Amino acid sequence: MKNEMRRFFLNLRRELGREKIEEYSDEIYDKLIKTDLYQNAETIFVYVSMDKEINTEKIIRKSLEDGKEIYVPFIEGKEMKAKKLEKYEDLVEGKFKIKTTRSDISIENPDLTLVPGLTFDKNKNRIGYGGGYYDKFLAKTKTRSLGLFASPFESIEIPTEEYDIALDYILTDEGLF
């Protein structure tokens, strides 16, 4: 069931134009920086967007400009670590062609973790790409998790398994819940 949903939402995202993704990304950015979650976070763990994910470049640049410590995913074996990013230009290609940093500085419990995914539901469950990296990270971390999604990617209900971790919040172009 999850694999079928994953395929469906990957295809839906593929069909969305870049302009539409940027529109959703801009609306989410505008809403995010006004939230208490963002305002009160000193350390933020954020994915570096690729393909047609909600774009995080503006979020990363603004966070660094605001003096926040930014951490990005670093994949090591089957684990994902949050490694420090000093400036956007320091990003390099890592495992799975995911942009990351060469920094050795990591954080265990960032104040806020921004999570990508393909679909979400009202219970704040999500379907990612199937690697389980975020579920494993969130299971052992004390952080506030916030999924960034375009509103058309909402599902009625996502089937869950015992290792799936629901997010604390979801932010879409329509708002925070």
Note the pLDDT tens digit of each residue in 64-87: 999 999 999 999 988 999 999 999
Q: Say whether 131 counts as a known binding-site residue.
A: yes
- Please give the single-letter amino acid code of residue 24: Y
Q: Say whether 67 counts as a known binding-site residue.
A: no
The structure's pTM equals 0.96
Q: Say whether 21 counts as a known binding-site residue.
A: no
Q: Say whether 132 counts as a known binding-site residue.
A: yes
Q: Kindly provide the b/e burial profile for residues 83-99, where b requires at least 16 CB atoms within 10 angstroms of the residue's own CB.
A: bbbeeeeebeebeeebb
Q: Say whether 133 counts as a known binding-site residue.
A: yes
- Please give the single-letter amino acid code of residue 128: G
107-127 per-position pLDDT tens digit: 999 999 999 999 999 999 999
Q: Say whether 53 counts as a known binding-site residue.
A: yes
Is a pLDDT exceeding 90 seen at residue 24? yes
Q: Which of 46, 49, 80 is nearest to 63 (CA)?
A: 46
Q: DSSP labels for 109-164?
A: S-SEEEE--SEE-TT--EE-SSS-HHHHHHHT---EEEEE--GGGB-S-----TT-
Q: Say whether 2 counts as a known binding-site residue.
A: yes
